[in-house]
Chains A and B, each alone.
Chain A
Amino acid sequence: MNRRRITTGAALTTWLVALTVVFCNACITSVDSGAQSPLALPDKDQFINQGVDAFMEKRCGALDCHGQIGRPLRIYSSNGLRMKDGPNGARDTRETQPEEKLANYYSVVGLEPEQISVSRVSEGAYDDFLLLKKPLSIEGGGVRHKGGPVLRSTDSGFDCLITWISGAVNKAKCEDGANQ
């Protein structure tokens, strides 16, 4: 009887030690991997003030596309989804507000933060990066997009995204892309 109790106690202790070791290893690995992989996100100021946000608002942020609650890659804009109501519960009719542009930035870089970081380091080169793949037709190197193909890789809008990701946004391309 005593021997059985000792055996059971020893087994429990062994399991507890093993579980603790596994738990601690998991924590250490998690902390380490985060510390070793800082994300190199594209520039926020270029996005907001150099035409990328305006391009995204115009070409992606319509109310029947990404300017819709419930859709991924949410984009706010003065002509689409607003962040806040206007006076007395009416629609906010002001220009797109700074906090909306900031939310758009985080929405875009948050789509695939690791991949956008890789694309940035490779100066726009991409393998399977949704921000650059989704707008293209499948024949043109893209992937399935519920809204269909909306850009070609030769379009100004595509250059706008590529140049922003690679660190030197081409504002003229963004403006041209927004108006196409």
Chain B
Amino acid sequence: MGKLGERLVVLGLAALFVSCTDPVRDQQIERLGGEDPRVPTGPEHRPGQPCVLCHSDGGPASDFKFAIAGTIFETSSPDSNGAEGVKVFFIDAASAKRTYETNAAGNFFIPEAEWSDLTFPFRVGILKEGANNNNPIPMTSVVNREGSCNFCHRPNPGSPYAIRGDDPRSSIGQIFVANAAAGAKP
């Protein structure tokens, strides 16, 4: 094979790898915008955004993959802070259970390595200490196939974390705990 042939093979392989990226996901990630310069990249970054979009196979954060991740806010207000110390309970279709807790940004995440055999669908409940007589509040539906809670529960319009070009028809709104004591659905 001549030099020209070798170059063509290399170019062909390069084109093949480029075409393996997912343009839909690339577009979704681009819409998330850049990092907040005040928050270092880490457990407290990008609250309200669909974490697993990047933290999964083929994503830009695939070196730290998540099984499930999301954000819980104090209130339903667009300028609400994240709710720290909220317990999040999970039970999957194989009856496996896990409990995690939100950090200072309201974020929580389950590394894929810690729940590699997660079986969809799964159920979720949350508990804020002192609220709802200390009873967990269950999510009314199951999660069928999406590991990012914020995929469906996106920050409410006007939030600094709102996703560019977001469609409110496709979001059930941010998860919040403030009215939990009054029995409102989070």
Contacts and interface: CB of A to CB of B under 8 A. Distances in A.
Interface of A: 58, 62-65, 67-69, 79-86, 89-92, 146-148, 150
A83 B168 CA distance: 10
Given A63-B152, A91-B168, 11 more contacts: A62-B144, A63-B151, A64-B144, A64-B145, A64-B151, A65-B144, A69-B167, A79-B140, A90-B157, A91-B172, A91-B173
B32 interface: no
B124 to A, nearest CB: 13
Contacts of B141: 58, 62, 79
Contact of B171 (A91, A146, A148): A91
B168 A85 contact: yes
B157 A89 contact: yes
Contacts, number: 56
B: interface residue count bin: 10 to 19
A18 B28 CA distance: 52
Question: For chain B, what secondary structure do more than half of its interface residues adopt (helix, strand, loop), or is it mixed?
Answer: loop
Interface of B: 120, 140-146, 151-152, 156-157, 167-173
A84 B151 contact: no
Contacts of B167: 69
B172 A148 contact: no
Nearest to A60: B144
15 contacts: A63-B170, A63-B171, A64-B143, A64-B145, A64-B146, A67-B170, A69-B167, A79-B172, A81-B169, A82-B169, A90-B156, A91-B173, A146-B145, A147-B144, A148-B145
